[in-house]
Structure formats: C-alpha cells, structure tokens
Amino acid sequence: MSKKPPKLSLNDLAGLRDTLAKETAAREAERVEAAKRAAQAARDANVFRDSIGDIAPLSSKRAVERVEHPRQPPAPVARQTQEDEAAVLYESLSDEFDPEALLDTDDRLSYRRPGISHDTVLKLQRGDWVVQAQVDLHGMRRDEAREALSAFLHDAVKRGLRCVRVIHGKGLGSIGREPVLKDKVRSWLAQKNEVLAWAQAQGRDGGAGALVVLLQPSPGRPSRAGD
C-alpha cells in the first residue's frame, strides 16, 4: 500500500498566509523607511547649499585629486512579487461561475482544458499519476474552503507539484444531502489558470468525495511527476 502524501491542515494554510502577509508588511516598511531617509538627505543637502551660498569651482589640479564616492542606493523592493503573493491569498473566486460553459466535462466528472489530451484525463481516472499533496476541505464553510483551496494550489505550484488531491466530501451531512461544496470546488478550480485537468478520484482515494487535479508546472521548474 502506497504511503499517503502529507495533508496540509487549515492551520498550516493559515500559517502560510500569515507568513506571506508578515513578509510583505516587513518589505513595505523597509521601502517606506528608505524613502524617508532619501527625503531627509535631500532636505539636508538643500540646507547645506543655502548656508554656504555660491562657491567657486576647484582648480584643475585640485579637481584631478578629487575622489568620487559612488552613492549607495537603497536595496530594491520586489513590489510585483509582493503584490502577486498577496493577490493569490486574497483573490476573489466567483461562486456564480459555471464551469460547464467553458470546460470539457463528462458524466464521470472529469475535465480538461483545450490542448490537454484525453489520454491525460484517462491517466488521472486510472490513478496513474502520483498524488504529491492533498487538501481536505470536507466540513469547512464555503468561504473558508475557498480560501484554503486557493492557498493550497498556490503553494503546490510554487513547490513544482503536478498532481494533487482535493477532498471536498460527498455532501451527506449538508442540508438536503446535496453536495454543495463539491459543485463549488469544481467552479473554483475552473477559474484557476494553473489547473489543467481533473478527474474524480478512485474509490480507494475518496471516490465521489475527492478530485485528482493536474497542475501547470511552474515556469523554470522541472516536472516532479511523469506524464
């Protein structure tokens, strides 16, 4: 029996979100402090020039002996990286999106984007792909599950994972015994560009209560699972 991959808990996902938020805040504080120092230096320079008035240039001999010290600009701040990381954690996934209007689906609850071969979906359905991580959304509230799924996918792509499992449950404990979260997860996944395909998990891996998802490899990183 194969060993199940580690499962990210809600606390882990929340910790990831808090860590990214703290790093973003720290870098922003550094940028603001550097801007303050630059502004103060400019004010000091103006005061100095006003106090000494007009000056005469140095003679050519003295000018040759002058040493120019290069300025040390403040370290650049990766603003775009900060904004991208924050956007991933707090992006709004619409609950009104209908995946049937865009995606290639079938009665076995499989899906593939244009350009993805049918054989790829068959491999997902047969369990040929190695599941490298999973997230369990079963029992979560809708907003909580949406945020947890977004953070999980962001982390998986960042780590270069290709195949993951999303456990949404069968909806047996919901009002009317309707699989509300199951349908929402399909809709949310359809809105993520990094999701290439999915298929319902085999019975031993969750069956109707889980999806096996194929992810777009992160640019510049090799695939960690075979096609």
Q: Give the integer Cα–Cα distance in Å for 112 and 118.
A: 8
* Any domain includes 9: no
* Any domain includes 124: yes
Which range (11-15, 26-30, 106-110, 137-141) has the least confidence?
106-110
Alpha helices in the chain (DSSP H): 10-52, 60-65, 79-90, 118-126, 142-158, 180-190
- Residue 226 above 60 pLDDT? no
CB atoms within 10 A of CB 96: 5
Domain containing 144 equals 108-215
Q: Who's near 111: CB < 8 A, 6+ residues apart?
A: 99, 103, 104, 105, 121, 186, 189, 190, 197, 198, 199
Residue 79: band (very low, low, confident or very high) from pLDDT cuts 50, 70, 90: low
Question: What is the pLDDT averaged over residues 53-61?
Answer: 61
| Angle at CA of residue 31, ends 27 and 32, nearest 5° | 120
Rg of the chain on CA atoms, in Å: 27
Count the domains in the chain.
Answer: 1
pLDDT at 43: 80
Please state the pTM of the whole predicted model.
0.53
More confident residue, 95 or 220: 220
* Any domain includes 87: no
Average pLDDT of the chain is 76
Q: Give the integer Cα–Cα distance in Å for 83 and 28.
A: 11
Which range (57-66, 148-157, 201-210) has the least confidence?
57-66
* Any domain includes 3: no
CATH of the domain at 191: 3.30.1370.110
**Which of 64-68, 79-83, 106-110, 209-213 is modeled with the greatest confidence?**
209-213
Report the first-to-last Cα separation within the chain, whole angstroms. Answer: 22
Provide the pairing of β-strand 210-215 with 195-200: antiparallel
* Any domain includes 93: no
Q: Who's near 158: CB < 8 A, 6+ residues apart?
A: 218
pLDDT at 62: 52
> For 185-225, how does the pLDDT look when each residue is reduced to its tens digit (9 = 90+)?
998 998 898 999 999 998 888 888 999 999 998 766 555 44
* Any domain includes 8: no
* Any domain includes 91: no
* Any domain includes 153: yes
Amino acid at 195: V
